[in-house]
Amino acid sequence: MKVAEVLRMNGGNGDTSYATNSLLQRKVILMTKPITDGAITSLYTSLNNPKTISIADLGCSSGPNTFLAVSDLVKAVNSARKKLRQNSSPEFHIYLNDLPSNDFNTIFQSLHKHQEEIKMELGDGSGPCFFNGVPASFYGRLFPTNSLHFVHSSYSLHWLSQEPKGIEENKGNIYMSASSPPSVIQAYYHQFERDFSTFLKCRSDELVKGGRMVLTTLGRKSEDPSSKDGCHIWELLAIALNDLVAKGLVEEEKLNSFNIPMYTPSPAEIKVLVEKNGAFTINCLEVSQIHWTEFDNDNINNNNNEKNNGGYNVVRCMRAVAEPMLVSHFGEGIMEDVFHRYREVIADSMSKEKTQFINVVVSLIRK
């Protein structure tokens, strides 16, 4: 699997799009807002009335969340500026990055509307925002040396640059799982270690001294990489796919050669790699969680008030995220069967146990 070619969220604004089904990720951005606001406010204060502020959002995808994080950052600077009674506002250079196959067209078609909204909210006196698209992998250099003040990334860094090597023994699974051999777990960790270290090296070159970076990933609390914390959602998809193999709808070989290129790190793993890189001070490192039921109960189209929506939102969110990757491996024809069965499996799991998505957020300062 060539990850950079097949990994993308469902584009557009339709029923199965990421734009329509990214409530979970929206909640996560809102939950981490105190940390991001705090980081950019300290940065702005330390810059002493700067003329420009350069902000990059890495793994921005397409939809309302693309503008949510960056517009909140601009608003936080504007509030800080007013509190400090500084009349001249900086200009904002905003860079929206994702892989080239991301739906950048949808982003830029709605740019004008978002720019107008930001302008209205900020009121007179705030500097202009200049938006740029940066279509490339964040596991490489994206910006000139010492050119960025702030990097934000939410729910993107758990995606690896490639499938780990040497995981052929992980038969019947599509990700790490309690039944994965230790060599498979190690291969996943090593790929994460390589990727996250490369990411930190690139960003340390691009950020100015004192620059800030707030990263949120899907992660886990447990130190065991195959614990349910980080793996359960994919274990349930593996159950659905195995059922389709049993029905003769999917070839076993196809299932065995499919692997999710993701790693859900613990805070301790993040800390070790940041310290090994050496270019950043950790300002804060936190874990939070969102129960599947809590987010499943938010209405998208459902009009019922049941506590448990039977996995409705959870499966729609997972479809928006994983469908392009599944289509490229298994073909489009099987998708309705896959997601129909996946919803049943998720609903069954949710009726028996409480499961949560774990988020790890780290706020860093460039030394």
Ligand X SMILES: C[S@@+](CC[C@H](N)C(=O)[O-])C[C@H]1O[C@@H](n2cnc3c(N)ncnc32)[C@H](O)[C@@H]1O
Q: Which residues bind ligand X (CB under 6 A)?
A: 7-9, 22, 25, 29, 59-61, 65, 97-99, 102, 137-139, 154-156, 159, 161, 321
As measured in angstroms, the least distance from the Cβ of 101 to ligand X is 7
Residue nearer to ligand X on the CB measure, 321 or 361: 321
Sign of CA dihedral 26, 282, 287, 16: positive
The residues facing 56 across adjacent strands are 95, 151
Residue 277 to residues 201, 280, 365, Cα–Cα distance (Å): 7, 8, 13
Min dist CB 89 to ligand X, Å, is 26
253 vs 256: CA distance, rounded Å: 5
Region of 265 (left: φ > 0; alpha: ψ -120 to 50; beta: rest) is beta
CA-closest candidate to residue 264, choices 367, 145, 135, 177:
177
Is 212 within 8 Å of 151 (Cβ atoms)? yes
Please give the Cα distance from 52 to 236 (Å, whole number). Answer: 47
**Is the CB of 19 or the CB of 244 nearer to ligand X?**
19
Q: Backbone phi, then psi, for 212, in 5-degree steps?
A: -120, 155
CA-to-CA distance for 222 and 363, rounded, in angstroms? 21
Q: How far is the CB of 65 from ligand X (least distance, A)?
A: 3
Neighbouring C-beta atoms of residue 18, cutoff 10 Å: 28
171: nearest Cα among 183, 159, 179: 179
Smallest distance from ligand X to CB 22, Å: 5
Please identify the residue of the shown chain whose CB is closest to the bound ligand X: 59
End-to-end CA distance of the chain: 37
Cβ(61)–Cβ(18) below 8 Å: yes
How many CB atoms neighbour CB 331 within 10 A? 11
Minimum Å distance from CB 21 to ligand X?
Answer: 10
Q: Nearest Cα to 126, choosing from 118, 117, 134?
A: 118
Between 6 and 279, name the residue whose CB sits nearer to ligand X: 6
Nearer to ligand X, 4 or 335 (CB): 4
Please, what is the minimum distance in Å from the beta carbon of residue 171 to ligand X?
A: 26
Nearer Cβ to ligand X (60/94)? 60
Which CB, 44 or 159, lies closer to ligand X?
A: 159
Task: Cite the DSSP H helix spans in 32-135.
Answer: 33-47, 64-83, 104-109, 111-122
Q: How far is the CB of 311 from ligand X (least distance, A)?
A: 18
CB of residue 64 to ligand X, shortest distance in Å: 8
Pick 7 or 345: Cβ nearer ligand X: 7
Q: In the complex, what is the shortest distance from the CB of residue 262 to ligand X, in angstroms, rounded to a whole number?
A: 9
Written as six digits, the tokens of 113 are 């509307």
- Hey, CA dihedral for 151, 154, 157, 161, is it positive or negative? negative
Closer residue to ligand X (CB): 215 or 346: 215
Q: Is the CB of 255 or the CB of 260 nearer to ligand X?
A: 260
